[in-house]
Amino acid sequence: MFDAAVAGIDLVIGPEDDLSLPETFTLLKDESVEEPDGPITLEDVAVLEGCESYVKGEKMLVREKEAGKRAGLRAAKALLRQQHLIPVEWRGNKVLIFTGMIVRDRDGLRFVACACWDGDRWYLAWGWLDNYFDSGNRAMRVPRK
């Protein structure tokens, strides 16, 4: 299915890592596995299979759902708050995707949370599921035990 995880990141989800959304979004589905408070380990997993050069967001979402243990908005916010834990070599090379929670905008378009590098810091962005995702995109998961 997906290639093996490249790295594990141990972080703590705190009360400030809530599910509040920008007013332009509404929660459509939350299937993330993280608890409201406490430690969590994240791994990054390729979104592509085999010789693919890209995958449509909806297809990526189906694959991630089948794989289970998807990280969501709480994990994204915790990782951004503790971004010193993100490997330096990921800067500018990866977009970290959190498929555990899906939101909808006012036009009915569906998005997932992403962490992106802007040259100085990681920030929260929203990946449109009608887009194509490539090798620079990595899905964030909680490892299976």
pLDDT digit string (tens) for 49-88?
999 999 999 999 999 988 878 999 999 999 999 999 999 9
pLDDT value at 23 more than 80: yes
Helix (H) or strand (E) holding 17: none
Structural domain boundaries, residue 65:
8-141
Does residue 89 sit within a domain? yes
Counted domains in the chain: 1
Confidence class for position 2, pLDDT limits 50, 70, 90: very low
What is the reported pTM? 0.90
Does residue 67 sit within a domain? yes
Does residue 42 sit within a domain? yes
Confidence class for position 143, pLDDT limits 50, 70, 90: confident
Confidence class for position 7, pLDDT limits 50, 70, 90: low
Query: Residue 144 to residues 36, 41, 69, 70, 72: CA-CA distances in angstroms?
Result: 19, 10, 7, 10, 16
Cβ neighbours of 145 (radius 10 Å): 5
Residues 6+ apart with CB under 8 A from 124: 76, 77, 80, 113, 114, 115
pLDDT value at 1 more than 70: no
pLDDT tens-digit readout, 94-140: 999 999 999 999 999 999 999 999 999 999 999 999 999 999 999 99
Does residue 87 sit within a domain? yes
Does residue 3 sit within a domain? no
Tokens linked to 131: 């887009």
Does residue 1 sit within a domain? no
Cβ burial of 8 (10 Å; 0-12, 13-18, 19+) is: exposed
CA distance 87 to 102: 26
Does residue 123 sit within a domain? yes
Averaged over 6-10, what is the pLDDT? 75
